[in-house]
Structure 1
Amino acid sequence: MSDATANTPIENTNNTVDTAEEMDSEIESLKKENEELRVQSESMRAKLLEANMLANNYLEEMEKLKEQLERITSPPLFIATVMETEDDMALIRQHGNNQEVVTQIPAEFKDEIEPGVRVSINAAFSIVSVMRKATDMRAQIMEVISSPDVDYDMIGGLDDVLNEVIESVEMPLTEPELFDKIGIEPPSGVLMYGDPGTGKTLIAKAVASRAHASFIRMSGSDLVQKFIGEGARLVKDVFQMARDKSPCILFIDEIDAVGGMRTHDGTTGSAEVNRTMLQLLSEMDGFEPRGQVKIIAATNRIDLLDPALLRPGRFDRVIEVPIPDEKAREDIFRIHTRHMNLADDVDMTKLAKMANGLSGADLKIIVKEAGMFVLRRRGEQITMKDLTEAFNKVTTEEEQNTASGMFA
Structure 2
Amino acid sequence: MTYSGLQVVELPMLHPEKFVKLGIDPPKGVLCYGPPGTGKTLLARAVANRTDACFIRVIGSELVQKYVGEGARMVRELFQMARSKKACIVFFDEVDAIGGARFDDGVGGDNEVQRTMLEIVNQLDGFDARGNIKVLMATNRPDTLDPALLRPGRLDRKVEFGLPDLERADIRSVCTEAGMYAIRARRKTVTEKDFLDAVNKVIKGYQKFSATPKYMVYN
Letter aligned with residue 26 of structure 2: P
- 1:276 alignment partner in structure 2: 116
- Is 1:241 matched with 2:81? yes
Deviation at 1:181, TM superposition (A): 1.7
| Residue in structure 2 matching 1:289, options 128, 150, 153 | 128
Q: Is the 8 A contact 2:91 2:137 kept in 1?
A: yes
Q: Is the 8 A contact 2:72 2:115 kept in 1?
A: yes
- Is 1:267 matched with 2:144? no
- Is 1:318 matched with 2:158? yes
TM-score normalised by the chain length of structure 1? 0.44
Larger Rg: 1
Q: Is the 8 A contact 1:259 1:309 kept in 2?
A: yes
- 1:328 alignment partner in structure 2: 168
Identity, % of aligned positions: 49
- 2:3 alignment partner in structure 1: 162
Deviation at 1:196, TM superposition (A): 1.2
Deviation at 1:214, TM superposition (A): 0.6
Structure 1's 349 and 173: CA in aligned 2 closer, same or farther, altered over 3 A?
Answer: farther
Trace 1:144-223 onto structure 2 (pairs within 5 A): 158=1, 161-166=2-7, 168-223=8-63
Q: Is the 8 A contact 2:85 2:132 kept in 1?
A: no
* Matched length: 195
Work out the CA distance in 2 between the residues paired with 1:309 and 1:242: 19
Work out the CA distance in 1 between the residues paired with 2:45 and 2:177: 21
Q: Which moved more, 1:263-272 or 1:275-284?
A: 263-272
Letter aligned with residue 203 of structure 1: L
* Partner secondary structure for residue 313 of structure 1: coil
- 2:183 alignment partner in structure 1: none
- 2:217 alignment partner in structure 1: none
Letter aligned with residue 299 of structure 1: T
* Partner secondary structure for residue 164 of structure 2: coil
Q: Is the 8 A contact 2:174 2:202 kept in 1?
A: no
- 1:258 alignment partner in structure 2: 98
Structure 1's 353 and 210: CA in aligned 2 closer, same or farther, altered over 3 A?
Answer: farther
Q: Which runs of 5+ in 1 are unaligned?
A: 1-157, 356-408
- 1:33 alignment partner in structure 2: none
Q: Is the 8 A contact 1:329 1:352 kept in 2?
A: no
TM-score normalised by the chain length of structure 2? 0.79
Structure 1's 180 and 289: CA in aligned 2 closer, same or farther, altered over 3 A?
Answer: closer
Work out the CA distance in 1 between the residues paired with 2:18 and 2:177: 38
- 1:38 alignment partner in structure 2: none
Deviation at 1:289, TM superposition (A): 3.3
- Deviations along 1:330-361, one digit per CA (max 9) or x if unpaired, are 45567889998547445258648968xxxxxx
Deviation at 1:292, TM superposition (A): 0.8
- Deviations along 1:104-131, one digit per CA (max 9) or x if unpaired, are xxxxxxxxxxxxxxxxxxxxxxxxxxxx
- Deviations along 1:275-300, one digit per CA (max 9) or x if unpaired, are 000001110123x4362111111100
Instruction: Report runs of 4+ in structure 1 exceeding 6 Å deviation.
Output: 334-340, 352-355
Structure 1's 188 and 240: CA in aligned 2 closer, same or farther, altered over 3 A?
Answer: same
Structure 1's 173 and 272: CA in aligned 2 closer, same or farther, altered over 3 A?
Answer: same
- Could you say what the CA RMSD is over the residues aligned between the two structures, in angstroms? 2.8
* Partner secondary structure for residue 155 of structure 2: coil
Q: Which has the higher contact order (CA 8 A, sep 6+)?
A: 2
Trace 1:45-60 onto structure 2 (pairs within 5 A): none
Q: Is the 8 A contact 1:258 1:276 kept in 2?
A: yes
Q: Is the 8 A contact 1:326 1:353 kept in 2?
A: no
* Partner secondary structure for residue 316 of structure 1: strand
Structure 1's 182 and 255: CA in aligned 2 closer, same or farther, altered over 3 A?
Answer: same
Structure 1's 261 and 336: CA in aligned 2 closer, same or farther, altered over 3 A?
Answer: farther
Deviation at 1:246, TM superposition (A): 2.9
Work out the CA distance in 2 between the residues paired with 1:232 and 1:163: 32
Deviation at 1:258, TM superposition (A): 0.6
Q: Which runs of 5+ in 2 are unaligned?
A: 180-187, 207-219
Q: Is the 8 A contact 1:326 1:352 kept in 2?
A: no
Work out the CA distance in 2 between the residues paired with 1:203 and 1:197: 11
Structure 1's 238 and 328: CA in aligned 2 closer, same or farther, altered over 3 A?
Answer: same
Trace 1:387-402 onto structure 2 (pairs within 5 A): none
Structure 1's 271 and 175: CA in aligned 2 closer, same or farther, altered over 3 A?
Answer: same
Structure 1's 352 and 295: CA in aligned 2 closer, same or farther, altered over 3 A?
Answer: farther
